[in-house]
Structure 1
Amino acid sequence: MTQIDASNRKRSSGRLMILGFLSPSLAILLFMVAYPIFSLVYYSFFNFSALRPAAGMKPVGLGNYEFLLGDPELWERFVFTGEFVALCVSAQMLIGIFIGYQLQKNFRGRDLLFTALMLPMMMSPVVVGFLWRYMFNSEWGVINYLLTVIGLGKVDWLGQTTAALFAAAAADTWMWTPFIVLLATAAFRGIPETIYEAAEVDGASPAYTFFRITLPMSAPVLFIALILRLIDSFKQYDLFFALTGGGPGSSTETVSFAVAKTAFSYFYTGEASALAVVLLVIIIGLSMILVRHLNKMGERY
């Protein structure tokens, strides 16, 4: 019994030591994450404006949520956000996997090329937005210049909703495809060479090797990349702020753009908080579904 008590005391002291080391980080995490989320949910139940704090906070219950979910313009923003996410994430995954598969091979200048490909990811989204805004300028932008060189007409890229959607997707794809390339290359290079050698001995074609060996064995890492890009794309704001400003009109406003506009242009703090909560719930729900599939994928491979 004495040895058991000593072992229990030692285990308890070890847990207390671990808790002592973790407590500062946990306190910071609670303050930086839990408190803002709690405040966001709390404000969403009030008619409140940060510009007029003296007016007080009027409880409205679920009134903000009912107003927002009944607003047809909000659903248009959700549809536009979904179209943007589907377009840019699909392009990034396809291009990133293709480039990553090529970069796993050994060739001269590969490291230099890999470093150059990572540069767009290091830039600020606002800088990328303004850069591509100049490139998509309808009069003297380089994109329209190239179109005229090959005999096509100019396109008002930022003055039409559909064209602006493709312009934003192109800018986001240029910036974040290197992230997929980085993870895909690491996943592909982590596959043992002996598996490829065995497949080559069995006479497997390159296509069979890619779809039956490379993709399945790197699927968990690629799925993580997909989850991260979906979450980040769904809350995209700064790129649209610099590239289109939400125009023409408000047709290229994402949900995150609508949150910022409601909060900092109209100063409807309660409505902005409710919209942010809706967006947060959607992102969390989508993440939980994808993580569940990721866990099943991990068990399979």
Structure 2
Amino acid sequence: MTRLAVRQRSTGRLMIFGFLSPTLAILLFMVAYPIFSLIYYSFFNFSALRPAAGMKPVGFGNYKFLLSDPDLWQRFIFTGKFVFLCVTLQMLIGIFVGYQLQKNFRGRDLIFTALMMPMMLSPVVVGFLWRYMFNSEWGMINYLLTVVGLPKIDWLGQTTAALWAAAAADTWMWTPFIILLATAAFRGIPETINEAAEVDGASPAYRFFRITLPMSAPVLFIALILRLIDSFKQYDLFFALTGGGPGSSTETVSFAVAKTAFSYFYTGEASALAVVLLVIIIGLSMILVRHLNKMGERF
């Protein structure tokens, strides 16, 4: 390699580093520093409300205390149920509706725009809206039940009913996101492939499960990963919808982090719990991304 080529390569690397350095600095300040601070505080008995008391090192004491707490495991179980229920409903409904919207028909754009509107709202607004709708006395949901002859349900006063109420609110808000990605993935499939399969006599079900779904699987898998991550750290919806009740039975892990940090001001324990949640989300994401890479190699 000539001296000129070496100099050009070095100059190119310096330019790349110069363009990336502002972004790297922002990420270092906005992401890396808070994460390392979180990990650091998790090893201390510390309260942000009483900084004068100092920070007492406890090693893994906060982690041992949290992981031996049966209430925390109940929150993990409830969070897992919520994530499974929401993501399953959103993927099934989103794929079905997205498959219908990828077809060209009159009024399609208007319907598509209307379906995207819930996604534009704040989760807190959605939580309060559905809280009024699920009111046990004058809510619209119970009114519709009485119209068809069914008894009223105390939606937000029972753990199981509150779980379904929260899943309904979250599904109403975030299914449009799945619809958006599914529609884009389906419309990205060349028409010639489906036309050739139709000429060969393939049924609509066969074309969907053997052609459309496999070819759009990478995009749908990305949507699945994003919704899993977001559902796992759900807090604001439950804050507005149930307040964590009845009792603390509808507290997610994120809700428990916020409650421990800003209601009880146990900063060390809250940091440890946040680290545990972060490790779970990162681990789950790495597993899913690995499967996504294998899927990309296949298709």
Query: TM-score category by the smaller chain?
Result: over 0.9
Offset, 1:25: 1.0
The question of 1:142 aligning with 2:144 is answered: no
Farther-moved stretch of structure 1 (20-29 vs 279-288): 20-29
Alpha-carbon deviation of 1:24?
1.1
Match of 1:40, SS state, is helix
User: Who is 2:90 aligned against?
Assistant: 92
Determine what percentage of the aligned residue pairs are the same residue.
89
> Which one of the candidate residues 158, 165, 168 is aligned to 2:166?
168
Structure 1 distance, partners of 2:16, 2:294, is 31
Gaps of 5+ in 1: none
Superposition map of 1:11-90 within 5 A: 11-90=9-88
Query: How far is 1:194 from its partner?
Result: 0.2
In structure 1, the residue matched to 2:151 is 153
Does 16-25 or 146-155 show the bigger shift? 16-25
Select the residue among 205, 208, 215 that pairs with 1:207: 205
Q: TM (normalized to structure 2)?
A: 1.00
State the SS of the aligned residue for 1:157.
coil
The one-letter amino acid of 2:142's match is N
Letter in 2 for 1:16: L
* Structure 2 residue aligned with 1:223: 221
- C-alpha separation between the residues in 2 aligned to 1:208 and 1:239? 39
The corresponding residue for 1:188 is 186
Match of 1:293 among 279, 291, 294: 291
How many residues get paired?
299
1:119 is matched with which residue? 117
By how many angstroms is 1:138 displaced? 0.1
Cα separation, 2, equivalents of 1:154 and 1:192? 50
- The one-character-per-residue Cα deviations of 1:15-49 (angstroms, maximum 9, x if unpaired) are 10110111111101100000000000000000000
Deviation at 1:233, TM superposition (A): 0.1
Secondary structure at 1:112 match in 2:
helix
User: 1:257 corresponds to which residue?
Assistant: 255
TM-score, normalisation: structure 1 = 0.99
Q: Distance in 1 between matches of 2:52 and 2:206?
A: 68
5+ residue gaps, structure 2: none
- Distance in 2, matches of 1:116 and 1:155, equals 29
Please say which of residues 17-26 and 207-216 is displaced more in the overlay: 17-26
